[in-house]
Amino acid sequence: MASQLRGNLVVGQSGGPTAVINHSLVAVIQEAAKHEAIEGVYGMVHGVGGLLRENLIDLRRERQETIQGLLSTPASALGSCRYKVTPQDYERILQIFRAHNVRYFVYIGGNDSMDTAHRVAQLADDRRYELRVMGVPKTMDNDLALTDHCPGYGSAARFIALATMDTGKDLEAMRTFDDVNILETLGRNAGWLAASAFLAKRSAEDAPHLVYVPERTFHEDEFLEDVRETHRELGYVFVAVSQAIRDEQHRTVGTDLSSVAEDAFGHKTMSQSSGTANYLRRIVSEKLGLHARVLRPSLIARDFTSCVSRPDQKEAYLTGRSAVSHAVQGNSGYMVTLVREPGPTYGCTTGLAPLQDVANTDKLLPQEYINERGNGITEAFREYALPLLGDPLPRYVRLERFAVPKKLE
């Protein structure tokens, strides 16, 4: 029977960490312990890069309190990597798997990790080596295809919403000194994280007042007009913007080519002195004469556990557990997906998507989540995203400011 394939399991974590990625790792370890077919559980130290150096650790020798402690520990406990695997590397991976009798391979990661897992599964099939490969989704960018959302996004979105609420109140209080705050979020090609700032907004006065995402072309003249009009109405402007917004020539706004580097997969990374928000701050100052500040939470949003989403934790664990269960049952070459249940009350189950359909494919923010002007987010997005944040966001108040009559001229 397919479920009786005996051997060891290897699990790895790859790409940018999240606040809940270790929940998936713990689930893999704990679920594997329930199945006699899985004889050993090994961890790849720093992802596939460590695997190529045969850098493996025996996770079953870890103390149970350590494994349990990972549930409250951010980032990737095994260590991560951004390594682009070569054709020769794949042969090496299969050799290592043979040497250690690895029959189960679980990779926790994003787009590129799903591609790596897919190619490993292909090679094993070509070489007639029985190996079951499963991908576990992970990315705060929320841009993996064929899943309703990604573990890691709910917590990062909660952080961005809370940061917007709090710094928005700060700007409102300091508007006689500051005119504009520009919050820049991560997100390589999709605007899911920038859009999450909108969840902070409950009234016209609340931040954010403007939101710009890469799914719409950015027009500088329209942006300046939006800022000018909002400042005229309120006296202050809070802007949320994705680092990946692009102009009419499809160039990333504010990109200084001399300061742009690329990782192993060709993904561009910019220095702290360049980038979208700094460019927007400069043109707001130069062309509108307004004082602007830049807010770049960057990695803080990715790993901040103090405002983690409880559903995010549960679903990260669920995907890891499901990956092992499906592999033992004989499934291979799939990524576990999150499937939202219909109905007024939020619920989520898991499904499966072929790795080849997920690999290197971006899930973009749907157009119905963006307003007609392209400078804001619609209520349809709130209905989608708010349940992913878990506990309700706080409610802030404003003084009614009953004036004391003046007695002097």
Catalytic (active-site) positions: 141
Count Cα neighbours of 55 within 13 Å in the Cβ-side half-sphere: 12
Task: Judge contact between 105 and 117, C-beta under 8 A.
Answer: yes
178: Cα separation from own chain's centroid: 30
CA of 195: how far to CAs of 158, 184, 215, in Å?
Answer: 11, 11, 11
Task: Judge contact between 274 and 217, C-beta under 8 A.
Answer: no
Closest among 191, 209, 192 to 200, alpha carbons compared? 209
Residues 6+ apart with CB under 8 A from 397: none
Q: How far apart are CA 397 and CA 261, in angstroms?
A: 44
Residues 6+ apart with CB under 8 A from 125: none
Secondary structure E strands in 32-146: 38-44, 56-58, 102-109, 132-137
Joined together, the tokens standing for residue 66 give: 């350590």
3-state helix, strand, coil in the chain (%, to 5): 40, 20, 40
Residues 6+ apart with CB under 8 A from 143: 110, 111, 150, 187, 188, 189, 190, 192, 362, 363, 364
